[in-house]
Every structure is written in structure tokens, then in C-alpha cells.
Amino acid sequence: MIVVFVDVDYFFAQVEEILNPSLRGKPVVVCVFSGRTADSGAVATANYEARRLGVKAGIPIIRAKEIAPSAVFLPMRKGVYEEYSKKVMVILRTVSPRVEVASIDEAYIDISSAVPSFEEGIKLAMKLKERIKEETGLNVTVGVSVNKVFAKVAAESVKPNGFRAIGPDQVEGLIRELDIKEVPGVGPVLASKLESLGIRKLIDIRSTDVSHVSAAIGRAKAYYLLQLANNTYSVPVEERQKKSVARVLTLKTNSRNLDEMRRAVRKALEDAYGKAEGLPTRIGVMAIMEDLDMISRERSLSHGVPMDVATSICMEMIEEILRKDNRRVRRIGVRLSRFVKSKGLDQFLDLK
């Protein structure tokens, strides 16, 4: 298998730089503003100039402004970024039909059937990187290897705007040298557990009793790492189906007003149903209270339901929350999952 991993560098901020070249060289921070106050909300992403100042995704906007007062702070423009993402994915699909979109700014491409050898695969991947730059203006980091995981490892080691290939004859060296904490899917907590077993490099898995590893981190994760360590990992590149869709909205003020919450639920469901691949058979709500405590409820159904029915179900669960809790609500969220494809008359239902 020859897999190419494409990662668009600091995607949202880079799009803003393309649309406004005067931003280049300046620290740029793209934010999700909640609308409650001028600085309420969180950082979505930042370019490398801003990252060098200490700005990271997820931190409060007010904190980012303290860290980098000279940075340019911009509101997130979801529709614009989605259009750029589509352009990139269209280019990828001209190379191979086997494209797995991992996120709005990442994708895997299986080019095994498009080239006769790994060396030719490297050339194709380099041309792909150049073409994306020419047609969209975006810099991307590209990794090429024998499976999805090692292709991602290759890309992560050369960001931003880098290119690295790890060929079949280099895989054993990678396995011997790769820190376990650098393996995709291994976070700090998991890495700590593995290190307590003496596993610091990926290759250490080979000499550790897999039953001990399974007991510590679970069977699925243990065998995932074992396959990587033995170079037998071969999960195919395939289009992903969305397992769930969620949307959270911030209320204008902390409230217990059901009419206001119904409007928020309706808007959240409109957005969620717009992304859903079918009708949900599981519906959940989240209420983030005034002290930021979160309460959630979920309901499973025997069949998929349209948005009007989902609205009623969500409001029933919210009313249940409010009956048992006297606090005001700050944010309202919905989650749809376990989708089924609409059939028969369902296809005529307006899910937007």
C-alpha cells in the first residue's frame, strides 16, 4: 500500500492570509466569538507567528489577547474555509478515487493503483503538493508511507509546508526510533501507562507481553500498537461516515426561558441536520449551566426522526433538566447519532 497524507498548514489562518496578503508575517488568530462580550469565546487556530507567542487553539480569546496583544484577531468564517477544503479534496480525487477525508484540513489518499512503485508514488505526491499550491494558494504538508499511520507520522515530523516519505526499506528504522508518544492516537495519559510498562519506543511493544499491554490500555489499542510495531497494520483508506453531529450555541444571556431555548435548539438542529447523513435514531441535548457545569440527556429511538420531532424531543429533555436544576443555562447543544438513510416518504421531509 502507498498512502499519501495531506495536512493543510494552520488552515483557517492561512486562508485569511491568502484572502488578505497584508496579514502575511503578522500573528493571526482566528476565533470563535460567542457574542456575549467583545472578547468572549475561544481561539480556533493561529498561524505560526502567533503560536510562537504562545497562542494555542482552545484558549480563551481574552487570554490570547493578553499573550499576543499585537496579533490580528479575526472571526471564523466557516463557509469560506469549507469552500477551500472542497477545492483541496477535489484535487486529491483526481489522483485516486480512494480518498479518506479525516477532517476539514486533513486527508489520506491511497495511490497504490495509480503508480507502479513507491518511488513513482513519491513523485506523484510531490506534484500533488505543488498542484494544491498552484490552484488554491495553500501550503500543505505531505507524508508518504506504507500505511495511513506512518504517512501521518511522516507529515507531522516536517510541518509546516514540508514533505517526507518513509519507504518500505525505511519502516524498520522508523519503528526502532519512533517515541511511543509520537504515535498517532497515543495521548499523554496513554503514553504514561505505556512508559510504566517500559514501552518508550514503538519497537518496545514487540518485546512486551501483549496480555500485559491489553490489561493496561485495552485490547483494541494494544493490538493497534502491535500491528504497527510488526509493520502489519493495513487498515484501508476509505470514505468515513459521520458517527455523530453536534452543535452548541451560546445564549445571549444566562436564562431559563423556554422560548429562548427552543429558538436556540431549533437553530442548532438546523445546522446539525444540514450535516447529517440520514435521520438520527439517537438524540442528545447538552445544557452548560451558568457555572459552566454541564448536564446532558440522551434518548434512543426505534426509527429515524425528522427535525420537527427532534425539536420536541430535545425540549422535553431540556424541560426535565430545568425541573431538577434551579440554575440558569449559558449554552445549549444538540447531538445527533446512529443515522439511518431515509427511505420512502422520508426522502420528502424537509430536514433543513
Helices of type H across 218-257: 219-229
- CATH among 3.30.499.10, 3.90.1150.10, 3.40.30.10, 3.40.1170.60 for 11-79: 3.40.1170.60
The residues spanned by each domain of the chain are: 3-9+80-169, 11-79, 178-229, 244-348
Task: Say if CB 296 and CB 284 are below 8 A apart.
Answer: yes
Strands 3-8 and 106-110 come out as antiparallel
Residue 38, pLDDT score: 79
Q: In what order do the strands lie in the sheet with 72-75?
A: 41-46, 28-33, 72-75
Residue 341, pLDDT score: 66
Residue 349, pLDDT score: 37
Q: Which three cell numbers stand for residue 12?
A: 483557517
Residue 100, pLDDT score: 94
Residue 199, pLDDT score: 95
Rg (CA), the chain: 23
How is domain 244-348 classified at the architecture level of CATH?
2-Layer Sandwich (3.30)
Which of 247, 249, 302 lies closest to 280 in space, CA to CA?
A: 302
Residue 142, pLDDT score: 98
pLDDT tens across 265-287, in order? 999 999 999 888 788 999 999 99
Residue 339, pLDDT score: 87
**Same fold: 11-79 with 244-348:** no
Instruction: Name the CATH superfamily, with its identifier, for domain 178-229.
Output: 5' to 3' exonuclease, C-terminal subdomain (1.10.150.20)
Q: Which three cell numbers stand for residue 68?
A: 499576543
Residue 123, pLDDT score: 97
Torsion 164-169-174-177 (CA) sign:
negative
- CATH among 2.40.50.140, 3.40.140.10, 3.70.10.10, 3.30.70.270 for 3-9+80-169: 3.30.70.270
| 64-to-13, 56, 135, 160 alpha-carbon distances in Å | 15, 8, 33, 22
Q: Phi and psi at residue 112, in whole multiples of 5°?
A: -55, -40
Residue 347, pLDDT score: 35
Residues labelled catalytic: 106
Residues of the chain with pLDDT under 50: 342-352
% of the chain residues with pLDDT over 90: 79
Q: Which residues contact 89 (CB under 8 A, 6 or more apart)?
A: 99, 101, 107
